[in-house]
């Protein structure tokens, strides 16, 4: 088995939530295909168990492990203690802050967790309405879509058409603020084709990560949110053609195609992807005039 490729949180595709009240799951989840393991002390944990769940995360980090945690939202009885206790741990790489509805939630959390990456999990209509200001808050690292709570708040169905506007807002806000691509909500219980379809929707809306609820979902999410073999083949064919034509801009379509090709191959390299030997999909499309 080839070694797991380490993908940084800026490009992380699969974000695996792990119930922090069940520490026996930590080791297995850490060695899964997930790009990021999120030790969850928020929704997955009953109120009476949150203190113990937090202690489990602290002990995991204190033992020399590194990782991320999903912490309780600003204004809850547990938020401040989550920040204080986890912030003491050198192994804490970042937090996903639940129920973000305004820039103040990020600012107050960043003040208690200086230097720690913060992903804002936006889960309500009010939060979506404030996405632009949230995305531009100093200290924010990335946006995430809390799909389940958002649907409960709005009464929306889970179809891609109904949620198209909302998903678009996450991508637009992220892009305009110079953030990495947003993280989509989970496909609850989905595996196989259903999960691939759900991850395909994530990709179609320019979202580059997806929350996973079980380790088995991570390989599929990673695959769908990575450049496909067809993408990589096109990029290599285009760059070969471009260099053979002198490596100079020939028309108005070359610049965007050149940028796309470089992005595809750059991501493929960071994800540890290669085309199979002798793989060929189709020649690079071109509207360049050849005399």
Is residue 166 situated within a structural domain?
Answer: yes
Q: List, for residues 167-225, the tens digit of each pLDDT value.
A: 999 999 999 999 999 999 999 888 899 999 999 999 999 999 999 999 999 999 999 99
- Does 154 reside within a domain? yes
Residue 241 has pLDDT above 70, yes or no: yes
Instruction: Write out the residue range of the structural domain in which residue 74 sits.
Output: 14-224
State yes or no: pLDDT of 4 exceeds 70. Answer: yes
Looking at the fold, whether 160 and 269 belong to one and the same domain comes out as: no
**Where a domain ends, among 193, 224, 255?**
224
Q: What is the 3-state secondary structure (H, E, C) of the chain?
A: CCCCCCCCCCCCCEEEEEECCCHHHHHHHHCCCCCEEEEECCCCCCHHHHHHHHHHHHHHHHCCCCEEEEECCCCCCCHHHHHHHHHCCCCEEEEEECCCCCHHHHHHHHHHCCCCEEEEEECCHHHHHCHHHHHCCCCEEEEEECHHHHHHHHCCCCCCCCCHHHHHHHHHHHHHCCCCCCEECCCCCCCHHHHHHHHHHHHHCCCCEEEECCHHHHHHHHHHCCCCHHHHHHHHHHHHHHHHCCCCCCCCCHHHHHHHHHHHHHHHHHCCCCCCCCCCCCCCCCCCCCC
9 assigned to some structural domain? no
Q: Which of 224, 250, 274 finishes a domain?
A: 224
Quick one: pLDDT at residue 275?
82
63 and 155 in a single domain? The answer is yes
Q: What is the pTM of this model?
A: 0.92
Total count of domains within the chain: 2
Whether residue 231 sits in one domain with residue 188: no
Q: Where is the domain boundary, 224, 248, 274?
A: 224
Q: Are residues 204 and 289 in the same domain?
A: no
């Amino acid at each position: 088995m080839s070694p797991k490729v380490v993908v940084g949180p800026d490009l992380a595709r699969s974000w695996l939530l792990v119930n922090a009240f069940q520490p026996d799951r930590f080791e297995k989840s850490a060695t899964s295909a997930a790009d990021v393991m999120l030790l969850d002390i928020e929704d997955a944990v009953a109120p009476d168990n949150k203190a113990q769940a937090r202690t489990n995360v602290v002990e995991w980090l204190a033992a020399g492990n590194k990782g991320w945690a999903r912490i309780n939202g600003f204004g809850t009885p547990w938020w401040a203690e989550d920040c204080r206790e986890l912030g003491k741990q050198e192994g804490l790489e970042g937090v996903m802050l639940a129920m973000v509805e305004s820039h103040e939630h990020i600012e107050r959390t960043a003040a208690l967790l200086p230097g720690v990456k913060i992903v804002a999990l936006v889960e309500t209509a009010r939060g979506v309405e404030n996405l632009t200001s949230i995305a531009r808050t100093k200290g924010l690292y990335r946006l995430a879509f809390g799909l389940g709570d958002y649907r409960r708040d709005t009464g929306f169905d889970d179809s891609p058409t109904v949620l198209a506007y909302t998903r678009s807002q996450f991508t637009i806000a992220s892009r305009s603020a110079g953030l990495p691509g947003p993280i989509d909500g989970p496909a609850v219980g989905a595996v196989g084709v259903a999960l691939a379809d759900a991850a395909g929707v994530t990709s179609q809306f320019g979202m580059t990560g997806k929350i996973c609820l079980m380790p088995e979902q991570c390989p599929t999410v990673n695959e769908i949110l990575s450049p496909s073999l067809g993408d990589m083949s096109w990029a290599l064919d285009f760059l070969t053609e471009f260099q053979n034509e002198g490596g100079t801009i020939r028309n108005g379509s070359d610049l965007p195609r050149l940028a796309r090709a470089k992005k595809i191959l750059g991501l493929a390299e960071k994800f540890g992807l290669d085309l199979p030997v002798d793989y060929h999909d189709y020649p690079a499309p071109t509207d360049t005039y050849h005399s």
